[in-house]
């Protein structure tokens, strides 16, 4: 009985301490239908992103903060076993002064676009992505393609810049009067905060998940 009472106290305490912390972001972009197709004996996939530029992403982008769209494309068999995995990285940035969008696709293709609409159109249908040679898949097996995507607003560079900004704020004139009576021990609160801040990157990212219909190689060969 005593233990239960203590447990209740602990639960209440943690509830109080952590209430209001949890604040998950809503998913505000989608993956357009995932369409596998066969091209030159390779299984490829068409994917795209819809409604990427909601306000929460558009505003930082137009302020010049780069956005990183990362997608993991997984080919799984009917038993849930992963057959192949590919990764796609799209970095989008906006040159505020020249008013032009730059897009880098897997660090290979670079595209410059003048408007947000054109950028959205480009993202709505990405160039076909090679997944796996067709001969690696079994004719009799049923497969499915799953796409897990994440749009990160605060890249490492931005986070570092933010931390630097916080660090600089630690060296304001507010410190000067206390330096005279310094005891040698000084708790650097900002660094402590940054320690937690730099560990928590997941909150600046949005996620979208999409998957294809289940298919066999025979389905793909038919026009």
Partner 1 sequence: MIRIRHKIILILLMAVLLPLIPISFLVYNLVNQSYQIGVNPQVQQALEQGVNFSKSIYTMVRKELSTALEEFSQNEIVNIDPEKLNSEVFYRLGVDSSYWTLISISFVRSDGKPGWEKSFQGVTVGKIDPRILRQFRADQNSLIVSDRENNEFMALQRVKASKSAEGFLVLRARLNDSYLSQSDHLLQVHQIFQSLHVARSSLLKSFLYTFIAIALVLLSIVVIFGMWISAKITSPISRLVKGTAEVGKGNFDYQLPQLKRRDEIGKLIEHFNQMARQLKINQERMIYLEKMAAWQQMARKIAHEIKNPLTPIQLTIQQLVDKYPDKQNDYGQLLSECATIINEEIGSLRNLVTEFSEFGKLPELKLETGNLNHLIQEISPLYGDRLQLDLAADLPDFTFDWDRIRRVLINLIENAIQADQKDHPVQVRTSLLGNKITLMIEDKGAGIPPAELGKIFEPYFSTKSGGTGLGLAITRLIVEEHNGRISVDSIVGEGTRFRIEFPIE
CB of 112 to partner 1, least distance (A): 12
Q: Cβ contacts of residue 175 below 8 Å, gap of 6+? A: none
CB of 162 to partner 1, least distance (A): 5
Find the helix or strand (DSSP H, E) in which 152 lies.
strand 143-152
185 touches partner 1 by CB under 8 A: no
Taking the C-alpha atoms of residue 196 and residue 188, their distance in angstroms, rounded to an integer, is 13
Taking the C-alpha atoms of residue 146 and residue 71, their distance in angstroms, rounded to an integer, is 10
What x/- string results for residues 60 through 99 when contact with partner 1 is judged by CB under 8 A?
A: x--xxx------------------------------xxxx
Q: What is the largest CA-CA distance in the chain?
A: 81
Taking the C-alpha atoms of residue 73 and residue 144, their distance in angstroms, rounded to an integer, is 10
Sign of CA pseudo-dihedral 50, 124, 207, 155: negative
3 touches partner 1 by CB under 8 A: no
Footprint of partner 1 on residues 195-214 (CB under 8 A)?
Answer: 196-197, 200-201, 203-204
| 10-18, 136-144, 170-178, 208-216 -> range binding partner 1 (CB under 8 A) | 10-18
Taking the C-alpha atoms of residue 87 and residue 189, their distance in angstroms, rounded to an integer, is 39
What's the angle, vertex CA 17, arms to CA 12 and CA 23, rounded to 5? Answer: 115
| 12-20, 38-46, 80-88, 210-218 -> range binding partner 1 (CB under 8 A) | 12-20
114 touches partner 1 by CB under 8 A: no
Residue with smaller CB distance to partner 1, 39 or 198 = 198
Taking the C-alpha atoms of residue 171 and residue 173, their distance in angstroms, rounded to an integer, is 7
154 touches partner 1 by CB under 8 A: yes
On whether the CB atoms of residues 149 and 208 are closer than 8 A, the answer is yes
| 29-37, 38-46, 130-138, 158-166 -> range binding partner 1 (CB under 8 A) | 158-166
Residue with smaller CB distance to partner 1, 7 or 85 = 7
| 76-84, 128-136, 186-194, 210-218 -> range binding partner 1 (CB under 8 A) | 186-194
161 touches partner 1 by CB under 8 A: yes
Region of 99 please: left (phi>0), alpha (psi -120 to 50) or beta: left
Summary count for the chain: helices (H), strands (E): 7, 11
Under the rule (CB under 8 A), what is the footprint of partner 1?
A: 13, 16-17, 20-21, 23, 25, 56, 59-60, 63-65, 96-99, 153-154, 158-159, 161-162, 165, 189, 192-194, 196-197, 200-201, 203-204
């Amino acid at each position: 009985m005593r233990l239960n009472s203590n447990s209740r106290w602990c639960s209440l305490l943690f509830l109080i301490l952590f209430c209001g912390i949890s604040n998950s972001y809503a998913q505000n972009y989608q993956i357009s239908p995932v369409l596998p197709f066969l091209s030159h004996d390779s299984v490829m996939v068409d994917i795209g992103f819809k409604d990427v530029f909601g306000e929460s992403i558009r505003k930082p982008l137009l302020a010049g903060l780069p956005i990183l769209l990362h997608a993991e494309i997984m080919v799984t068999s009917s038993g849930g076993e992963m057959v192949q995995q590919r990764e796609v990285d799209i970095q989008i940035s906006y040159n505020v002064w020249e008013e032009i969008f730059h897009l880098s696709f897997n660090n290979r293709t670079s595209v410059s676009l003048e408007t947000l609409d054109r950028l959205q159109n480009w993202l709505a249908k990405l160039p076909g992505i090679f997944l796996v040679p067709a001969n690696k898949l079994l004719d009799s097996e049923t497969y499915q393609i799953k796409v897990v995507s994440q749009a990160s607003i605060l890249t490492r560079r931005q986070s570092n810049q933010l931390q630097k900004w916080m660090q600089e704020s630690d060296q304001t004139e507010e410190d000067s009067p206390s330096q005279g009576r310094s005891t040698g021990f000084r708790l650097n609160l900002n660094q402590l905060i940054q320690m937690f801040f730099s560990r928590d990157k997941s909150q600046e990212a949005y996620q979208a998940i999409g998957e294809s219909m289940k298919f066999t190689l025979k389905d793909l060969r038919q026009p």
